Amino acid sequence: MLPLLRAAPVGAPALLLLPLLSSTPAAAYPFMIRHGYTGCGECHTDPSGGGTLTEYGRGQGVILLASRYGAHPEGWEPPDSKDFLFGALPLPEQLALQADLRALLIPKPGDMRVIAMQSDLEASVDAGPVRAEASAGWVSEGAERAWITSNTDPGGNLVSRVHWLGVQPTDDVLIRAGSMHLPFGIRSEQHILMARSATGTDTNDGQEYGLDVVAQAGKVRAEVMGIAGDFQVSPDDYRQRGYSALLGWGPESNLEVGLSSKLTHAALDEATRVPATRQAHELFGRWSPTRPLALLAEAGLTTLGSGGSTAVGSVGYLQADVEPVQGFHVQGTGEWCDDDLSDDAAPVGRGWLALQWFAVTHFDIRADAFYGTLYCTPGTDPSFMGLLQAHAYL
């Protein structure tokens, strides 16, 4: 069996792009549908969300995301401190730079750990028909599929999560190639959601290389990506190839429903180490019945076809995000996952309570408490878990 190597020599497409550009696990906030944002392209260079903020996105970071301390004076506008390095380094309008820092504390008695999840420098270019985005950074552990170095000793690794180059033949269409987040489900920074891990579509290190087309037509957004494999993983047998696609419809300003579909095949599946074809097909929805409340849900089926047999599973969640005052969020989430509906192992579930406070522009903190299992591992006993996160972007 071929050993799986992380951080293969970066593939040719990446070599071409990395010197030009340089991003992050997506800090995409799908609860923004409460403000009429059924899509993501207003605030992010990536039309499907996450990563580098546009000028408008940085403005909304002040106007809508961060806590307010008193009324704004007449004629108030978001200050220049919303910008890169608090406005100390003015940039041409075609260029956006951003630094994202995210640290995680796992307060486990006797085994307290601090993980540098993200310390990325991101850049994006939006110049006429050309749009591009790239990131480079360092993680102390985890995010293996995004490594561009291969250090297995303490000290962490350099990572590049996204690097893509695209053209926009029209304002509503973007065609791009490179390493990207996969178009699937509801994109958020909560990469440990089982709907992400069980479908291989998280934004921490679930990116793949490929060719992608994103289009917006009225209230419909669509994205299809042909997956060529993760060239930061080697040998080639471990690279999965296929497609991932998403179709979303926002009939109202406070509602989006959609479908996602993904199919990939690898000569050696990373988990099973045998040839396998994986599929995931799901429905998703976001709805804000009243401004303080945003509901997010995904539900779907997964399949793992290998050695002549196919295991069909299911995964999904319902999440309620409540924002009683601007900047302070209370999230409750219920998840389930079953990797094989036909076997005797009971599906796993997880209850999740989170408090998130966007205390000031550029900075948020978050506390999570779970009861359940970390991954989609039926048969595993549930347990309590706690996480503390701090995130800053410059």
Partner 1 sequence: MNLSAALLTLGLVLSSAPAAAAFQVTGKPKVTFYAEGSPGALDIEGKSGELSLSDDGTTVTAKVPLASVSTGIDLRDDHMKNKYMAIATFPDLTLRFARAELKLPTDAGQSTTGTLAATFNAHGVDQPVTVTYTVKKGKNAFEVDASFDYDISKHGVEIPSYLGITVDPAQNAKVRFEMLDQ
Alpha carbons within 13 A on the beta-carbon side of 226: 6
Measured from the CB atom, is 6 or 82 closer to partner 1? 82
Measured from the CB atom, is 153 or 171 closer to partner 1? 171
Determine if 30 is a binding residue for partner 1 (CB under 8 A).
no
Q: Which residues pair with 317 in a beta bridge?
A: 298, 335
Measured from the CB atom, is 249 or 328 closer to partner 1? 249
How far is the first Cα of the chain from the last one, in angstroms, to the nearest whole number?
A: 44
Binding-site member from 54, 67, 81, 380 for partner 1 (CB under 8 A) = 54
Determine if 56 is a binding residue for partner 1 (CB under 8 A).
yes
Determine if 371 is a binding residue for partner 1 (CB under 8 A).
no
Pick the stretch among 72-80, 142-150, 311-319, 347-355 that binds partner 1 (CB under 8 A): 72-80
Determine if 183 is a binding residue for partner 1 (CB under 8 A).
no
* CA 367/CA 189 separation, integer angstroms: 14
Measured from the CB atom, is 38 or 244 closer to partner 1? 38
Determine if 76 is a binding residue for partner 1 (CB under 8 A).
yes
Alpha carbons within 13 A on the beta-carbon side of 71: 3
Count of positions on this chain that bind partner 1 (CB under 8 A): 30
Q: Pairing state of beta strands 276-290 and 255-266? A: antiparallel
Pick the stretch among 33-41, 270-278, 352-360, 370-378 that binds partner 1 (CB under 8 A): 33-41
Nearest to 204 by CA among 138, 118, 270, 133: 118
Minimum distance, C-beta of residue 55 to partner 1, in the bound complex (Å): 5
* CA 392/CA 394 separation, integer angstroms: 7
Pick the stretch among 53-61, 136-144, 176-184, 222-230 that binds partner 1 (CB under 8 A): 53-61
Determine if 36 is a binding residue for partner 1 (CB under 8 A).
yes
Please say whether the beta carbons of 106 and 128 come within 8 A: no
Pick the stretch among 247-255, 275-283, 312-320, 339-347 that binds partner 1 (CB under 8 A): 247-255
Residues near 3 by beta carbon (within 8 Å), at least 6 away in sequence: none
Nearest to 358 by CA among 388, 318, 390, 387: 390
Q: Could you give phi then psi for residue 296, rounded to 5 degrees?
A: -125, 140
Cβ–Cβ contacts within 10 Å for residue 7, how many?
21
**SS3 at position 144:** helix
Pick the stretch among 54-62, 190-198, 303-311, 356-364 that binds partner 1 (CB under 8 A): 54-62
Q: Can you give the binding site for partner 1, defined by CB under 8 A? A: 35-43, 47, 54-56, 58-59, 63-64, 72, 76-77, 93, 171-172, 216, 219, 221, 250, 252-253, 291
